[in-house]
Structure formats: structure tokens, C-alpha cells
């Protein structure tokens, strides 16, 4: 199961605010073709993987995304 780490994976420093760009980025995260949707697909598809290596990589990619 999952746990949350209260940290960013990579430090973010925003020099100039840009609402139009922010809208694109938030869609890349939570939108229909975003990271969150992809993560759920990885984690669901791992159940039909035949080897420990492929189960492991899908688990860990899904976790990262």
C-alpha cells in the first residue's frame, strides 16, 4: 500500500509566475493523460505481469508517478 512523504521529489523554484503555463502543468499531473492516470494504469497492469522483474518495475514506476 501507499504512504506519503512530505517532500518534493525535486526542488522547485519559480522565478516568474505564468498562469497559462501553470494550467498546462497541472493538466499534465491530474488531467486525462497525466501522471496520476498513468500511475494507476501501471499499478493495475502489474497484476498480470509474468515475472518479478516486470511486476517490480511497474510497481516502482507507478509509485514514482
Partner 1 sequence: MNREKMQHMRKVQVASFLINEAALYLDVHPTNKKALDFYDKAKKERREAVEKYEATYGPLTFYNAKGPSWTWIQGPWPWQNEREA
Binding residues (CB under 8 A) for partner 1: these are 3, 47, 52-53, 55-57, 59-60
The answer to whether the CB of 41 falls within 8 A of the CB of 48 is: no
Q: How far is the CB of 29 from partner 1 (least distance, A)?
A: 23
Q: How far is the CB of 10 from partner 1 (least distance, A)?
A: 18
Q: From its phi and psi, is residue 3 left (phi > 0), alpha (psi between -120 and 50) or beta? A: beta
CB-nearer residue toward partner 1: 1 or 14: 1
CB-nearer residue toward partner 1: 3 or 17: 3
Amino acid at each position: 500500500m501507499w504512504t506519503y512523504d512530505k517532500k518534493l521529489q525535486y526542488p522547485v523554484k519559480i522565478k516568474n509566475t505564468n498562469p497559462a503555463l501553470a494550467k498546462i502543468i497541472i493538466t499534465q499531473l491530474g488531467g486525462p493523460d497525466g501522471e496520476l492516470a498513468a500511475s494507476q494504469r501501471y499499478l493495475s497492469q502489474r497484476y498480470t505481469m509474468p515475472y518479478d522483474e516486470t511486476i517490480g518495475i511497474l510497481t516502482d514506476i507507478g509509485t514514482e508517478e
